[in-house]
């Protein structure tokens, strides 16, 4: 693999959340974001979407309700292909799809606004487990099962023991190695386990406690995945801010595949 496909957004005077195939990739208000997205791309038609000025919480991201003056807001989303090692803002990038919205005074002030583009990328990396995962509903029974898995991950994260998380990630790890073949699944598992041990050895390693009142789990990928996220847009499993001011987060999407609730992204 000598080229990488990145999802990108460029923003001015607004925030936005980027989606690939109905999976939320990143919410930001920074001027430029570029993220490799091979594990979210499917063979054939792909959908790229941008939610401009999303709702107050993840579960409300696409709910209409807020009003803002759009004057001066600019938002661009695109998929771009780069040679491995090339800077992501390089003008020579091959742009696969792009769409820009320019806010103007006098137009509808209701947000969020949604941009959608579709592109056929042909054959990419084969079929993913999340495409064949069971469709889900966030009822009380499912939420109880989700919280059981979240507690396993949270406890392992706090103790710096990556093995229980690796077991829940087996399918995902195999697929990541297909999407980015520079590492084998065993190498990826060992790297994660060692990294978590290193985090645990830091004096400032403190895990944010679970707070059910802050859970804002949301369905995505045509209801086949559940994003584990809090109302503040941070992953539910995360450390408290480290010395550099940032938490170390474990962002995960759960799904039922092979009759098991597991981490599929």
Tokens of 154: 């949270």
Q: How many CB atoms lie within 10 A of CB 57?
A: 16
Q: pLDDT value at position 1?
A: 65
- CATH node for 130-263: 3.10.450
Residue 153, C-beta contacts closer than 8 angstroms, at least 6 positions apart: 164, 165, 168, 237, 250, 252, 263
For 101-114, how does the pLDDT look when each residue is reduced to its tens digit (9 = 90+)? 999 988 889 999 99
Q: pLDDT value at position 92?
A: 74
Q: pLDDT value at position 18?
A: 98
DSSP designation for 236: S
Domain ranges of the chain: 3-126, 130-263
Which portions of the chain are predicted below pLDDT 70?
Answer: 1
pTM of the model: 0.94
Q: pLDDT value at position 91?
A: 75
Strands (E), the chain: 3-12, 16-20, 23-28, 32-36, 45-52, 66-67, 74-83, 94-102, 110-111, 113-120, 218-220, 225-227, 237-238, 249-250, 253-257, 260-263
């Amino acid at each position: 693999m000598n080229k990488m496909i990145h999802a990108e957004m460029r923003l001015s005077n607004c925030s936005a959340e980027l989606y690939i195939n109905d999976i939320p990739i990143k919410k930001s208000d920074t001027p430029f974001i570029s993220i490799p997205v091979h594990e979210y791309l499917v063979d054939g038609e792909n959908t790229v979407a941008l939610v401009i000025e999303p709702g107050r919480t993840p579960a409300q991201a696409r709910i209409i309700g807020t009003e803002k003056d759009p004057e001066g807001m600019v938002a661009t989303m695109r998929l771009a292909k780069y040679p491995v090692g090339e800077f992501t803002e390089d003008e020579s990038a091959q742009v696969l799809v792009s769409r820009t919205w320019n806010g103007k005074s006098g137009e509808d002030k209701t947000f969020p606004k949604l941009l959608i583009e579709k592109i056929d990328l042909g054959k990419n990396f084969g079929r993913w487990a999340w495409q064949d995962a069971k469709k889900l509903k966030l009822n009380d029974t499912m939420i109880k099962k989700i919280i059981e898995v979240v507690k396993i991950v949270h406890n392992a994260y706090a103790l710096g023991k990556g093995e229980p998380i690796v077991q829940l990630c087996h399918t995902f790890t195999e697929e990541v190695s297909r999407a980015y073949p520079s590492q084998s699944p065993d190498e990826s598992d060992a790297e994660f386990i060692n990294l978590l041990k290193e985090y645990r050895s830091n004096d400032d390693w403190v895990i944010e406690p679970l707070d059910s009142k802050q859970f804002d789990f949301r369905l995505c990928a045509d209801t086949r995945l559940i994003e584990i996220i809090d109302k503040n847009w941070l992953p539910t499993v995360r450390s408290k801010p480290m010395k550099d001011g940032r938490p170390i987060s474990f962002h995960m999407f759960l799904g039922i595949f092979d009759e098991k609730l597991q981490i599929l992204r």
